[in-house]
Structure 1
Amino acid sequence: MTDDSTPVRFDTKIAVLLRDDLQTWQCLNVTAFLVSGLGTRVPEVIGEPYADADGTEYLPMFRQPVLVFAGSKELMTAAHTRAVGRGVTMAVFTSDLFASGHDEANRAAVRAVKRDAMDLVGLAVHGPRNAVDKILKGASMHS
């Protein structure tokens, strides 16, 4: 028998790292875009659909928390390098994407810049807890 109040400890972690110089609307927008791709590549992070007591159905969501961190441009670059080196599932958002208006233009903007020259403003990672912790070393919880 399981107790619903017992905390669940997941073997993996979903985390978003945002550059600390973004405006509030940018933080929200970047976070939404970054996590939108995780379920397509890592379907096990998605839980079951929701329903209310009236039977109205709602979309499923992540089955585990998404932790949001902030850091400097330099920390963002270091975290990206560590994430690439560890081969974790990752999404990126560059400053160029604020000026593009749709998916094809977004992909073209990322494709046009070499990895080391990207002006990263956000990244999302999913992987083993300890690997994600090492990738985000130096970042603080977003406030």
Structure 2
Amino acid sequence: MNKQENIKCVMVINEDLPLGVIANASAILGITLGKHIPELVGKDVADASGKKHLGIITIPVPILKGNKEIIRELREKLYTSDFDDVIAVDFSDIAQSCNVYSEYLQKVSTVLEKQHTYFGIAIFGNKKKVNKLTGSMPLLR
């Protein structure tokens, strides 16, 4: 990816979900996204008392509010060739209903994409493309 001023990362979370599910979805999206953009995790640092703190992402990650329809529409757009170079991580009811990953692998293979209800989606890529998708969306508060 290019310079940091040319990239953007956002999460869009279904605001209608319970707070615990919102937190869980955000955490899962962030961990998965970090795997795919490790170069944006900064170096470890020490504070003034010499205590070590692990590096965190070096760019902001605004959390935007959506609902299941808005997130579905975003996911569909992200499957198009216009956004092939954008990283998209989604978290759905299918994933949330599974306790172990092997169960998720089995279950997801039997459910059509249009049957997924998305709880959230993380989007990373070219700033203009991300803004085109999410630029008018409000922050989740």
Please report the TM-score for the alignment, with normalisation by the length of structure 1. Answer: 0.83
Structure 2 residue runs of 5 or longer lacking an equivalent are none
Q: Name the aligned partner's letter for residue 36 of structure 2.
A: R
* 1:70 partner amino acid: K
| 1:44-63 equivalence runs, <5 A | 44-63=39-58
Identity %: 22
Corresponding residue for residue 68 of structure 2: 73
Q: CA deviation at 1:68?
A: 0.5
Residue from 59, 83, 102 that aligns with 2:100 = 102
1:24 corresponding residue in structure 2: 19
Task: Kindly indicate whether the alpha-carbon contact (under 8 Å) linking 1:76 and 1:122 is maintained by their aligned counterparts in 2.
Answer: yes
Secondary structure of the corresponding residue to residue 5 of structure 2: coil
Structure 1 CA distance for aligned equivalents of residues 107 and 8 of structure 2: 28
- How many residue pairs align between the two structures? 135
Partner residue, 1:34: 29
Shift of 1:38: 1.7
**Taking structure 1 as reference, are residues 96 and 46 closer, same or farther at Cα in structure 2, changes over 3 Å only?**
same
Equivalent residue number for residue 77 of structure 2: 82
Distance in 1 (CA, whole Å) between partners of 2:43 and 2:89 is: 23
Q: Where has structure 1 moved over 4 Å in runs of 4 or more? A: none
The alpha carbon displacement at 1:138 in A equals 5.2
Given that residues 77 and 120 in structure 1 are in contact (C-alpha distance below 8 angstroms), is that contact kept between their aligned partners in structure 2?
yes
Q: Tell me the CA shift for residue 39 of structure 1.
A: 2.1
**Matches of 1:137 and 1:115 in 2, distance apart?**
25
Q: Which runs of 5 or more structure 1 residues have no equivalent in the other structure?
A: 1-8
Is contact 1:45–1:64 with CA below 8 Å preserved after alignment? yes
